[in-house]
Structure 1
Amino acid sequence: MGKTALILIDMINPYDHEDADLLIPSAKSVVPVLAGLLERARAKDVPVIYVNDNFGEWRSHHGELLDQAVAGPHADLVEPLRPDGSSLFVVKARHSIFFETPLNYLLNEQGIDRLVLCGQVTEQCVLYSALDAHIRRFEVVVPRDAVAHIHADLADAALRMMERNMGATLCESRELWD
């Protein structure tokens, strides 16, 4: 096994989008899990990469996205996951963390071949990112308790698809970096 990176998908979020009311309860349950994962990954010098929607703003600086998210009514879902000085940040426009982003280049430059995908939304961005990672021959790990969903039944199906069709390893977050 080579080098691993922790990828946080779309967690810098103002939660003002169409499905936010359905997503927020699940996000609330994963934020403490993600905060623990971040702490353990950073303690082990595991690279942390935030890949985040730009919400149509097309700003290249993650600070503006972060400021907007923590200024909103759901700052409690963002503040515990704040990027630190060693975190990398990639802005994306669509569902997959790879679509039209420099992420593949960045991962190759860093010698990373194993991705721990977490964040939101399980049945959308996490699923499509897992597929794109699989196609690019990355090893994919998805901690079940570290991904938030809009629809629980679709999230369960997405996790099964990631495991069965993409060879992803499903685990619990406590199994990582103990």
Structure 2
Amino acid sequence: MTSTALIVIDMLNTYEHEDADSLIPSVRKALPALQEVLKRARDASAPVVYVNDNFGQWRSHHGELVQAALAGKHPELVEPILPDEDSLFIVKARHSIFYETPLAYLLGQLEVRRLVLCGQVTEQCILYSALDAHIRHFDVTVVPETLAHIDEELAQAALRMMRTNMSATVTPLNDVTFEPKDP
């Protein structure tokens, strides 16, 4: 049984939005840790699920979103964390990774009970996704080094809320492990 999945939230981004200038420095800082957590999950053959905003493009699929992100203003923030051929992909329209997406069903099919959330934005999509995971009885792990924020003060408050109100494990990258898939 697979018990842990890595969920990569909103990292396929064109950075052509009003908060981009505030977000980009935090994304740059998070990239090495994001690459490391992706490597650990992939090395353990744990499911890696990219859940990404569709930017209002209802006819888009993940390939188009990847191409748009690579053609955006900061492809250097996208290239290091691109989905590989084994990655799973879900498009979302709102802040939560669960809101009107098939993610809960997919995780059930994969027999996942623990989610490691990474990506952007800590005080928005990560926070709301952690809440929705908690109310669906998933164990949530959040690794601050793998998260990008717009407002550092709000991001710190969001991490406290996840820990206190949602029973999330907020832990350093060095403490994150993924169980190998059973054969």
Q: Please classify the TM superposition score into its range, dividing by the shorter chain length.
A: over 0.9
Deviations, residues 75-116 of structure 1 (Å, cap 9, x unaligned): 000000110010000000000000010000000011001000
Equivalent AA in structure 1 for residue 110 of structure 2: Q
Equivalent AA in structure 1 for residue 106 of structure 2: L
After alignment, is 156-165 or 69-78 more displaced?
69-78
Q: Following superposition of structure 1 onto structure 2, how do residues 1-178 of structure 1 map, counting pairs within 5 Å? A: 3-177=3-177
- Contact kept? 2:51, 2:97, Cα under 8 Å: yes
**SS at 2:137's partner residue?**
coil
1:36 Cα deviation from its structure 2 partner? 1.0
Deviations, residues 54-76 of structure 1 (Å, cap 9, x unaligned): 00111352000000001122000
The percentage of aligned residue pairs carrying the same residue is: 62
1:2–1:85 Cα change, 3 Å: closer
Equivalent AA in structure 1 for residue 62 of structure 2: H
5+ unaligned residues in a row in structure 2: which ranges?
Answer: 179-183
Q: Give the count of matched residue pairs.
A: 178
CA-based RMSD of the aligned residues comes to 1.3
1:174 Cα deviation from its structure 2 partner? 2.0
Q: List structure 1 runs of 4+ shifted beyond 6 angstroms.
A: none
Deviations, residues 135-175 of structure 1 (Å, cap 9, x unaligned): 00000000011110000000000000000000000011121
Equivalent AA in structure 1 for residue 117 of structure 2: L
CA distance in 1, matches of 2:69, 2:30: 17
CA distance in 2, matches of 1:41, 1:173: 12
1:94–1:24 Cα change, 3 Å: same
**SS at 1:112's partner residue?**
coil
Q: Which TM-score applies when normalising by structure 2?
A: 0.94
1:18 Cα deviation from its structure 2 partner? 1.1
CA distance in 2, matches of 1:59, 1:166: 34
CA distance in 2, matches of 1:17, 1:109: 35
CA distance in 2, matches of 1:10, 1:121: 8
Q: Which TM-score applies when normalising by structure 1?
A: 0.97
5+ unaligned residues in a row in structure 1: which ranges?
Answer: none
